[in-house]
Amino acid sequence: MSAQPSPHGAEAVSEAAERRWAMIVAIIIAALVVMMVVTGLHWAAMPPSRVETVDVKSLHIKGEFVEQNLGTTMARDGGVMVRLIAQQYSFVPQCIVVPADMPVTFRGTSTDAIHGFVVGTTNANTMLIPGFVATFTTTFRKTGEQLMPCHEYCGTGHEAMWARVQVLPPEEFIAKARSGERVNCVAG
């Protein structure tokens, strides 16, 4: 006669299995909650790009983001740099000239609220947070004019906050930039 597990024994086994699985699910949920809290606090406390700070109070007066330093410049080594500021409710400069098919580095920050921008349908896209310098490098593939709207809600004027970006053929841009001065959208 083989040993039949008693009905009571089977119940105990299934109960233990259920409890084990409940425990595993509880551990998974707890791990997910911990991940949410840790990443939430971590990402909220600092911008996701390289952390570089700037003093909002003296931004207009001294340093990299004074007005005469904003806009597009080309260094001797051919490096193209765009510096810009976002404020309620405009970008400075309002029109940005960049070359196609050359790497362009953007450096920007905000003087008041959180702003952001995206250039047309390109991957030039960043947030601009007061106190932090946002920087990225991209290459524009298509020439022509693109719109650059603010894409972070920043107040009542948000939907009217945008700039234009003129993407020039490289040779035309280089001809304009050769003087070493800032390149602007004014023709000639």
**CB 124 to ligand CUA: min, Å:** 16
CB-facing half-sphere around the CA of 112: CA atoms within 13 A: 11
Nearest distance from C-beta of residue 187 to ligand CUA, angstroms: 28
Binding site for ligand CUA (CB under 6 A): 86, 89, 115, 150, 152-154, 158, 161
Kindly tell me which of 152 and 172 has the beta carbon lying closer to ligand CUA. 152
Say which residue the tokens 């952001």 belong to: 116
**Shortest Cβ 115–ligand CUA spacing (Å):** 4
Q: Which is nearer to ligand CUA, 99 or 108 (CB)?
A: 108
Which residue shows structure tokens 């425990």? 23
Residue 149 vs 170, nearer CB to ligand CUA: 149
Pairing of strands 103-110, 80-87: parallel
CA pair distance 73, 75, nearest whole angstrom: 6
Q: Phi and psi dihedrals of 44, rounded to 5? A: -75, -30
